[in-house]
């Protein structure tokens, strides 16, 4: 199974490929509608966008307020929220669509554990199930253009920076996860490029591994803290006052 935590990136990339087949009129509304419809279909949970601004003349785009709700059965405020995605569109009209940069700055991710699963795992299952069937969107090419080649893409720079993530569990208070900045260069090339699915898998797998690692480290540290706390409480119950005094003396010696 492909590990996909930020699956909406795939949708964004797909929309970028479809932009070349639109007229300028009402482009923003069309892209917004496509992201919401395709996102909801693929993830199996509500995807909403506050607004879109695509300027083909300047080769730039912006997606504001990209919000992914939790899968059914989870209670945190959301799984994934983005205030802003900045797009430097590059060359949209060649055989390979070149996106100079995708910048995600300040994403908010909430990983939630419930029972033996998490909202991330539930999302993965939804995506695997829903992506097995083709999704009908408004980005389809005109019917008369039946000989067109599949969309091929290249992203020269992908930046995922200044983001925050937290882990909510049934046992412990929410834990803040350290999410490192991630910068990827030259995904695909200008001659052959990658399909939207290939490009999405490359980006998302790297991001997923980073956040999964952060979550595992946080759980490991929390488990250590709780085990140490339980051991200390048990010792306090079993030790005499005299033994506790000796133990405190040893602690003072080794802490110097």
Binning pLDDT at 50, 70 and 90, where does residue 138 land?
very low
Sequence spans of domains, the chain: 8-207, 221-255
- How far is CA 181 from each of CA 106, 152, 204, rounded to the nearest angstrom? 10, 27, 14
For 20, list phi and psi in degrees, rounded to 5: -65, -15
Binning pLDDT at 50, 70 and 90, where does residue 46 land?
very high
Least confident range of 131-135, 145-149, 162-166, 181-185: 145-149
* pLDDT for residue 94: 77
The arithmetic mean of pLDDT across residues 41-55, rounded, is 88
Between CA 218 and CA 129 the distance in angstroms is 30
Please check the confidence at residue 16 and state whether its pLDDT lies above 60: no
Residue appearing with tokens 């996102």: 39
- The sign of the torsion formed by the CA atoms of 46, 112, 121, 12 equals positive
Between CA 59 and CA 99 the distance in angstroms is 9
- How far is CA 184 from each of CA 30, 61, 81, 138, 217, rounded to the nearest angstrom? 29, 19, 21, 30, 23
- Percent of the chain exceeding pLDDT 90 equals 8
The arithmetic mean of pLDDT across residues 100-125, rounded, is 86
Least confident range of 13-27, 57-71, 132-146, 201-215: 132-146
Average pLDDT, the chain: 74
Please check the confidence at residue 155 and state whether its pLDDT lies above 70: yes
């Amino acid at each position: 199974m492909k590990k996909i935590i930020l699956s909406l990136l795939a949708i964004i990339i797909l929309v970028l490929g479809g932009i070349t087949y639109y007229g300028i009129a009402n482009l923003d509304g069309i892209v917004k509608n496509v992201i919401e419809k395709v996102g909801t279909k693929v993830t199996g949970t509500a995807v909403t966008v506050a607004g879109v601004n695509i300027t083909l003349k300047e080769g730039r785009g912006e997606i504001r307020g990209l919000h992914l709700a939790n899968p059914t059965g989870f209670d945190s405020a959301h799984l994934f929220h983005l205030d802003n995605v900045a797009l430097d569109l590059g060359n949209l009209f060649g055989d390979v669509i070149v996106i100079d940069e995708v910048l995600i700055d300040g994403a908010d991710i909430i990983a939630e554990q419930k029972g033996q699963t998490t909202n991330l795992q539930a999302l993965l299952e939804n995506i695997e199930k829903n992506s097995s069937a083709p999704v009908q969107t408004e980005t389809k090419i005109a019917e008369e253009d039946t000989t067109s080649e599949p969309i091929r893409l290249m992203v020269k720079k992908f930046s995922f920076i200044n983001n925050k993530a937290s882990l909510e569990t049934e046992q412990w208070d929410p834990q803040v996860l350290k999410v490192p900045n991630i910068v990827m260069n030259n995904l695909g090339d200008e001659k052959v490029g990658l399909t939207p699915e290939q490009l999405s898998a490359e980006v998302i797998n790297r991001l997923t591994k980073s956040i999964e690692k952060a979550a595992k480290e946080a759980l490991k540290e929390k488990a250590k803290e709780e085990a140490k706390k339980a051991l200390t409480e048990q010792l306090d119950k079993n030790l005499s006052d005299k033994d506790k005094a000796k133990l405190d003396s040893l602690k003072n010696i080794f802490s110097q």
